[in-house]
Amino acid sequence: MIQELKMKCATSAPRYTTRDALISAGVLLLTTVIVMGAGILARRAGYDELAKATLGVAFPASLIVSMPFMYLKGQSARVQAFFVAVPLAILIAIAYLSTKI
């Protein structure tokens, strides 16, 4: 059984291609710029706490959003939605709580 699991798990080729990595990187950069822009707009509008929280989660949120294009490739839509929605919800909750402390 152990040998069978090794054969299934120990593959030498990654499941993603260079194209997938480039798409994921593009999504990562684009969403980072969008979320940072939202944080900058919040600061200019006078919402300093919201701006700090938004700017603080810009990169982690973008990384989570880009996961389906590379790391979760080949998984079902339900699995991808779960692994994006749950961490994003936790991240947003942490950012919200940080504004209340």
pLDDT at site 72: 87
51-77 pLDDT tens trace: 999 999 999 999 999 999 988 888 899
Q: DSSP label at 72?
A: T
What was the pLDDT predicted at 74?
83
What's the distance, CA 48 to chain centroid?
24
Other C-beta atoms within 10 Å of 45: how many? 10
- Please name which of 30, 28, 57 lies closest in space to residue 42, comparing C-alpha atoms: 57
Q: Distance between CA atoms of 13 and 62, rounded to whole angstroms?
A: 26
Q: How much is the pLDDT for 91? A: 94
Residue owning tokens 């993603």 = 16
* Dist. CA 7–CA 18, nearest whole Å: 24
Per-residue pLDDT at 83 exceeds 80:
yes
